[in-house]
Amino acid sequence: MPRTATRRRKHVGATVRTVQSMERWKLEDAKARFSEVVRLAGTKGPQLVTVRGKEAAVILAPEEYKQLLPKPKGHQPLVRFLQGLGLADLDLEREHDTGREIAL
**Per-residue pLDDT tens over the stretch 19-74:** 788 999 999 999 999 999 999 999 999 999 999 999 999 999 999 999 888 877 77
Judge whether 56 lies within some domain.
yes
Query: Is the pTM value of this prediction over 0.75?
Result: no
Identify the sign of the CA torsion 29, 59, 57, 23: negative
Residue type at 10 in one-letter notation: K
What CA–CA distance (Å, rounded) separates 81 from 56? Answer: 42
For residue 82, being part of any structural domain is answered with: no
In a domain, 92, yes or no: no
Question: Which residues have CB under 8 Å from 22's CB, separation 6+?
Answer: 5, 45, 46, 47, 48, 58
Q: What domain range includes position 58?
A: 12-68
The structural domain count of the chain equals: 1
Whether residue 55 lies inside any domain: the answer is yes
User: Is 88 part of any domain?
Assistant: no
50 inside domain: yes
Residue 35 lies in a domain: yes
Sign of CA dihedral 56, 28, 7, 35: positive
CATH number at 18 reads 3.40.1620.10
Whether residue 99 is contained in a domain is answered as no
